Amino acid sequence: MKFFIDTADLAQIKEANDLGILDGVTTNPSLMAKVGIKGAEAVMAHYKTICEMVDG
């Protein structure tokens, strides 16, 4: 079984990743907006940050 977290919240991603159980992250524009990420450049930068945080 693989464990994915569905969020754009970097603190939640870090917490799950630090537990050593995270296989990947899924997110979407609604979750991005929920954490205050708006605009194409900001979204792409946030995606990059998530990718750098998680191996999966």
Query: For every residue of 1-56, which 3-state class applies, written as one string?
Result: CCCEEECCCHHHHHHHHHCCCCCEEECCHHHHHHCCCCCHHHHHHHHHHHHHHCCC
What is the overall mean pLDDT for the chain? 95
Asked if residue 56 has pLDDT above 90, the reply is no
- Among positive and negative, which fits the CA dihedral 30, 44, 7, 2? positive
Domain boundaries, the chain: 4-53
What six digits make up the tokens of 47? 């995606």
Answer whether 0.95 is exceeded by the pTM.
no
Q: What percent of the chain has pLDDT over 90?
A: 95
What pLDDT is stored for residue 36 in this prediction? Answer: 97
Asked if residue 11 has pLDDT above 80, the reply is yes
pLDDT tens across 26-43, in order? 999 999 999 999 999 999
